[in-house]
Structure 1
Amino acid sequence: MRFTTYLNNIEINPDLDDKLFDEVQRAMRPAAIRQTNETFKSFRTDTLAAWEQKMYTNFKKPNSLISRLDSTYGHILASLFSNLFEIGPIELQPGDFLNGNSIEGPRLGMGLQNNQSLKPRFRLYGSAGYGLRDARWKYKVLGSWHITKDRFNKLSAYVQNSITQPGTTEFLGPNFLIEPETSLPFSTSKDSLPIQADYFRKYGVSLHFKPFAWSWFRIAVNREQRTPNYAYTYEGRNAFEITELVLDWSFAFKENLYRTGRMESIVNRFFPIINVQVSKGLPTLGSEFDYWRIAVQIYYQIRTKRMGFSNIKVVSGFINGDLPYPYLFGSLGSSGLVNVAGLNSSGFPLATFRTLPTNDFIADRYAALYFSHDFSQTLFRFRSKYTQPRLLLYNNVLAGALRQSEKHQFSWEFRTNQLHAEAGLEIRDLLRIPIKGVFIGTGVGVAYQYLPSPKSDWQYNAQAYWLGISLSR
């Protein structure tokens, strides 16, 4: 076996453009896989041997449906999953064209921003959409000035009018070019409780900064008006207004960001990964509530030789002061039967309770433990690239409490015994299709609730579900 490398037109100590460097450890531009023969000939100083020409011909032989999909529609699918179409200086986000959930039904709209692949010192983003079921417009406008080229240090101003789930916490995530948006599900895993949502209008300013390696901070001042779309009142009111100061901290030791075209993925080889969020109500700036709200999550991973790896996540929250239901802790149950996840996401696996209805848990102090073991491909390894089943076992436990519940008037029953535990298994990558260097995969799972005491009807305690569509490398 012989390897030969030819280097021509060497330039020593060239002037480097600092726009070439950001936090990405490895990047492959969209055009990297669409080179012409003339391009390769310019780098090839010798002709191909007959056996080499045959190898290239066989490798690219379009004799299967997958090959035709890859060559014809691969770039379209890659743009859809990365949520980005580049049109000159403008980037369109397909996720804003057609969205939807149980409240809005289909949401038709458009979202665009200036081309971030050109690495400008600013970002201008705007989107608008109309829900066909609730007959309401939603919009978001954001402007950011990138103090440094890597976008870790930036000053932003924003205004948003949209819909969200009550009781959620949005931690500071990785520094993606396209920030993933949270969305409401189309249906719950149990029919006993409908999906709930709050309409909100928020505006504010934020400062992101990175004073040292592996840590990222955000300070924000937000003013928000929120109105539940469900029957609920807090001390006789059903609309709320807050002004708050928020501090977010994200710590991920030696976190790596990879980019394929415009699809970005995070690779973490070192743990723990820590997120902390502290919020303070500001009555002096018009907030109706004076409070402290603290939320923490810690993610750790243990790798076992020839047995896969275990994921451990601990999440906790505490509120000092009075807050209405939309700002408490909840929505920890299953987020629906349909899920589409691209590479531009950093969610912890199984950070949800499959046997718990979405709004069945309400607390102003809580703690949850998520544990799962992924056997990866240690148990099954098939020769086919279209199926590589991965068995994953998990066990989740949740406990919490709500003080001064008499101030809340709920139109539904929630658990007074705030203790829930379940176990289950998933089979991932049961079917997967390779397209443009990544895999589109899906699988199935089943969960069983063992706390509180299971009911006699075992079908009530069990939940089977589809894993949706996800991207992986």
Structure 2
Amino acid sequence: MHSQEPNTQQDSAVVLTDSIHKIDYLQHLGNGYFPTKFLNVDLRYLVKFNQYEGFRTGLGGVTNDEFSEKYRIDSYVVYGFKDHRFKYKIGGGFRIHEATKTWINLSYTDDLQETGSSSFLTDKRFFQFFEPRLLNIDLFHKHITKAINIEHQLSNNLITETELAISKIDPTYNYIFVTKDTNYKNFDLTTAKIGLQWSPFSDFITLNDKTIETKDGYPKFTLQLTQSFKNVLKGDFNFFKVDFRKQHKIRYNEDVFSELIVSSGLATGSTPLTHLYHAYPNNITKETIVRRFSVAGVNSFETMYFNEFFSDRFATLQLKHYVKPFKISERYRPQLVLISRFAIGDMHDIERHENITFGTLEKGYSEAGFEINKLLFGFGLSFAYRYGGYHLPKLNDNIAAKFTFNVSL
């Protein structure tokens, strides 16, 4: 019996290693990468659609450890068939400290960004097989950005990222930003950012020099500070931004759980509309419910119309409760999700933003609804109703009915 123990231990180690490889592979896919020998192909760039570019298709990727453990190349190129323009990023990085996963990255990017969108540096990956909000976005600005970026992991539970960037911003729509000195149709920015993501309740293990997350713990906290400098490297404006997000999940059992997301942002100083906030609207400005029928987003306001509101200070609260799936058969289990969303915001010096009309959110925006997911091939249905301070006179204008699409690995 004792003679079999080494083999048993060896077999267990092989099984554990295989499991880690499978987890690693699935995490790559879940993060939007298809791993190959030397290159992880970035699935985000294969095909997308929006109102400005039409179909947008291309190829991107980042080299992996088989290529080099100390150096990496991270680039993409895409083409928009409606605006007839190539967009691209040329980037790379080198590791300066292995234990803390400290990397210095350099990049040159020529692309579009949605006006009013706010992203966190530490959200390296937010991947969906299908991104429904993109379909109807039409308010973009072009940017050419040169950046140097430092990734540093203080611990497995606390990661940081710092970036210094210079950008040329050119809105694709008719917009003028008015300051005391000049009216700007396009402008230059010099910005410094620092982002932190803290996941105090996640668990990790290290095997074969790879750190794998074994427990996705909640709550998670993300904080980002941005400072724009006037007259530094040709920057046109001084402004300061702070962004915060808390994500929480309360799991009652394997199928039943609640999700809560609190987001907030504050911009002070001379901040153009491109770098202010919307509340992630996802409703098309058309007359009837049927003509507005599209695909619901993951964390967007389904009854809020695109370009309806912008803010220089805002906060949102989103609640989702996933009810126990309906067990119609072993494989067919639709799930009801109850949803409530609230947003509040305001804006100083709204007259600075010319040639564009929008409202603010000082009265508080509310919507409630539900989804029935996984009805057929990952598709479901979503219904939402707008009420409270921004309830509209026509009943139909307050209602959004849409598809949902959910695929999980």
- So what's the TM-score if we normalise by structure 1? 0.71
Matched, 1:234 2:183: no
* Rg (Cα) greater in structure: 1
Question: Corresponding residue for 2:396?
Answer: 459
In structure 2, C-alpha distance between the alignment counterparts of 1:393 and 1:286, rounded to whole Å? 49
Question: Corresponding residue for 1:271?
Answer: 218
In structure 1, C-alpha distance between the alignment counterparts of 2:204 and 2:250, rounded to whole Å? 21
Of 78, 82, 94, the match for 1:145:
94
Matched, 1:412 2:357: yes
Residues 279-302 of structure 1, C-alpha deviation per residue, up to 9 Å, x if partnerless?
A: 011223332111111111112223
Contact residue 121 and residue 145 of structure 1 kept, 8 A: yes
Tell me how far 1:88 sits from its aligned partner.
Answer: 3.8
**Secondary structure of 1:28's partner?**
helix
In structure 2, C-alpha distance between the alignment counterparts of 1:212 and 1:29, rounded to whole Å? 21
Of 89, 107, 125, the match for 2:38:
89
Question: Corresponding residue for 1:255?
Answer: 202
Contact residue 239 and residue 267 of structure 2 kept, 8 A: yes
Of 300, 304, 309, the match for 2:257:
309
In structure 1, C-alpha distance between the alignment counterparts of 2:245 and 2:33, rounded to whole Å? 30
Tell me how far 1:119 sits from its aligned partner.
Answer: 6.3
> Measured at CA, do residues 370 and 211 of structure 1 come closer, stay the same or move farther in structure 2, by a change above 3 Å?
same
The one-letter code matched in structure 2 to 1:145 is F
Contact residue 281 and residue 290 of structure 1 kept, 8 A: yes
Contact residue 203 and residue 217 of structure 2 kept, 8 A: no
Contact residue 426 and residue 444 of structure 1 kept, 8 A: yes
The one-letter code matched in structure 1 to 2:314 is Y
In structure 2, C-alpha distance between the alignment counterparts of 1:257 and 1:430, rounded to whole Å? 35
Of 327, 338, 358, the match for 2:275:
327
Question: Corresponding residue for 2:146?
Answer: 203
Question: Corresponding residue for 1:218?
Answer: 161
Contact residue 32 and residue 43 of structure 2 kept, 8 A: yes
Question: Corresponding residue for 2:118?
Answer: 169
**Secondary structure of 1:8's partner?**
helix
In structure 1, C-alpha distance between the alignment counterparts of 2:172 and 2:163, rounded to whole Å? 27
Identity of aligned pairs, percent? 20
In structure 2, C-alpha distance between the alignment counterparts of 1:393 and 1:220, rounded to whole Å? 38
- So what's the TM-score if we normalise by structure 2? 0.81
**Secondary structure of 2:340's partner?**
strand
Which 5+ residue runs of structure 1 have no aligned equivalent?
A: 15-19, 33-77, 189-193, 259-264, 340-348, 433-440
The one-letter code matched in structure 2 to 1:277 is Q
Tell me how far 1:384 sits from its aligned partner.
Answer: 3.1
The one-letter code matched in structure 2 to 1:164 is Q
**RMSD of aligned alpha carbons:** 3.8
Tell me how far 1:350 sits from its aligned partner.
Answer: 4.4
In structure 2, C-alpha distance between the alignment counterparts of 1:420 and 1:307, rounded to whole Å? 30
Residues 257-297 of structure 1, C-alpha deviation per residue, up to 9 Å, x if partnerless?
A: 89xxxxxx987653221110100112233321111111111
Residues 29-81 of structure 1, C-alpha deviation per residue, up to 9 Å, x if partnerless?
A: 7999xxxxxxxxxxxxxxxxxxxxxxxxxxxxxxxxxxxxxxxxxxxxx9987
Contact residue 277 and residue 311 of structure 2 kept, 8 A: yes
Greater shift in the superposed pair: 312-321 or 166-175: 166-175
Q: How does 1:176-191 map to 2 (within 5 A)?
A: 185-188=133-136
Q: How does 1:111-122 map to 2 (within 5 A)?
A: 111-116=60-65, 120-122=69-71
Contact residue 161 and residue 196 of structure 2 kept, 8 A: yes
> Measured at CA, do residues 97 and 272 of structure 1 come closer, stay the same or move farther in structure 2, by a change above 3 Å?
closer
Residues 111-132 of structure 1, C-alpha deviation per residue, up to 9 Å, x if partnerless?
A: 2432446662221022212211
Contact residue 170 and residue 187 of structure 2 kept, 8 A: yes
In structure 2, C-alpha distance between the alignment counterparts of 1:82 and 1:453, rounded to whole Å? 37
Question: Corresponding residue for 1:382?
Answer: 328
Contact residue 25 and residue 256 of structure 1 kept, 8 A: no
In structure 2, C-alpha distance between the alignment counterparts of 1:422 and 1:406, rounded to whole Å? 28
Runs in 1 of length 4+ with deviation above 6 angstroms?
9-12, 29-32, 78-82, 178-184
Tell me how far 1:28 sits from its aligned partner.
Answer: 0.7
Q: Report how many residues are paired.
A: 384
Question: Corresponding residue for 1:448?
Answer: 385
Question: Corresponding residue for 1:51?
Answer: none
**Secondary structure of 1:164's partner?**
strand
Matched, 1:393 2:341: no
In structure 1, C-alpha distance between the alignment counterparts of 2:283 and 2:69, rounded to whole Å? 36
Question: Corresponding residue for 2:371?
Answer: 426
